[in-house]
């Protein structure tokens, strides 16, 4: 048992194998952000996503998104609950709270 195809049949299988390989590559590239990246789609045109806030502007409390799915990123909008339910993940926000100093 082996690959004993006549020369003309190889020319039939090469385009099929190329098409299958290309389809696998395209599917992999489409899935890669979802399976390998923490950030699926926030500011993907930037080399690095950085936000700066002044501590004085925080107010009494603030929730910072750590799931990277918030529509108000970097602030938490609660969408982590749907993400956790869908994926079985357990991410949640970083909650900042101003200490009452008298």
Instruction: Annotate each residue in 33-72 with x if it binds ligand FES (CB under 6 A) or - if it does not, as one string.
Output: --------------------------------xxx-xx--
What does the alpha-carbon distance between residue 62 and residue 40 come to, in Å, rounded to a whole number? 23
What does the alpha-carbon distance between residue 99 and residue 35 come to, in Å, rounded to a whole number? 39
Contacting range for ligand FES; rule: CB under 6 A; set: 15-23, 33-41, 43-51, 88-96:
88-96
Helices (H) and strands (E) in the chain, counts: 2, 2
With contact defined as beta carbons under 8 Å apart, do 42 and 79 qualify?
Answer: no
Among 33, 45, 74, 92, binds ligand FES (CB under 6 A): 92
CB of 53 to ligand FES, least distance (A): 16
**Cα–Cα distances in angstroms (integers) from residue 2 to residues 5, 11, 13, in the given order:** 9, 17, 15
Q: Which is nearer to ligand FES, 17 or 82 (CB)?
A: 82
Q: Which residues bind ligand FES (CB under 6 A)?
A: 65-67, 69-70, 76-80, 91-93
Which residues are tagged catalytic? Answer: 48
């Amino acid at each position: 048992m082996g690959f004993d195809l006549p020369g003309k049949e190889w020319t039939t299988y090469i385009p099929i194998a190329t098409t299958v390989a290309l389809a696998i590559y395209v599917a992999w590239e489409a899935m890669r952000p979802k399976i390998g990246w923490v950030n699926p789609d926030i500011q993907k045109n930037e080399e690095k996503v950085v936000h700066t806030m002044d501590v004085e502007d925080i107010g009494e409390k603030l929730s910072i998104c750590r799931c990277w799915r918030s529509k108000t990123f970097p602030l938490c909008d609660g969408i982590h609950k749907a993400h956790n339910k869908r994926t079985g993940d357990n991410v949640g926000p970083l909650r900042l709270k101003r200490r009452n100093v008298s």
